Amino acid sequence: MAKKKKLNKNWLHDHINDPYVKMANQAGYRARAAYKLIEIAEPEGLIRPGIKVVDLGSAPGSWSQVLRDAMVGPEGVIQGRIIALDILPMEPIAGVEFIQGDFREDSVLAELQKRLEGSKLDMVVSDMAPNLSGVASADAARMEHVCELAIDFAVNHLKPNGVLIMKMFHGSSYSNVIHTAKQVFKSVTPRKPKASRDRSRETFMLAKGLK
């Protein structure tokens, strides 16, 4: 119990003094994770007005906020389409469509297809992660499964030249996820944005162009 309290205290200290937390608060982003997507997508101009994008595991909504900021036109209207999906509820974001539910379920996919009216996506982004147990092997397997779900979703919904940005973890499943992605994407590159803490095992994958 004492060790847990110490860890919580250390996390709180780091969180309060984290420059990305401060920037997120100032910018109105719901989480510091916003800057992870910005650092990955902005240098290559991947998020632009007119695209159609789905945000998997969107709650609390910081990635959807980034998408909105990059796609909003001069009169404050989104140019393109942003659809956010999550099992958890998410506070509304102007111009972002939200579907609450598990995208593995037929009813949720049917609702998505209805909204897309048969059109394909330019981009899929996923900051999803499973509930972690602390057991490395079990957590690696869970994360691999989540990554496979995101890749499968992207393959089924992206345009041929579409883009997937996805969170993953360094660990025993890392090479498996990269291998799976390379089977279906022409370009697969890892990204470790500065906003991702050094001690965190998380990294991100940028995949472009379906084979």
Q: Is 124 left (phi over 0), alpha (psi -120 to 50) or beta?
A: beta
CA atoms within 13 A on the CB side of 164: 34
What's the distance, Cα to Cα, between the start and end of the chain in Å?
51
86 annotated binding-site participant: yes
198 annotated binding-site participant: no
Is 139 in contact with 133 (CB distance < 8 Å)?
yes
122 annotated binding-site participant: no
63 annotated binding-site participant: yes
Catalytic residue among 167, 192, 208, 211: 167
18 annotated binding-site participant: no
Residue position matching structure tokens 């691999």: 144
- The yes-or-no answer on residue 167 being catalytic is yes
71-80 contact pairs (CB < 8 A, 24+): 71/47, 73/49, 79/49, 79/50, 80/49, 80/50, 80/51, 80/52, 80/53
Residue ranges of the binding site: 61, 63, 86, 102, 127
Which residues are tagged catalytic?
A: 167
Residue ranges of the binding site for S-adenosyl-L-methionine: 61, 63, 86, 102, 127
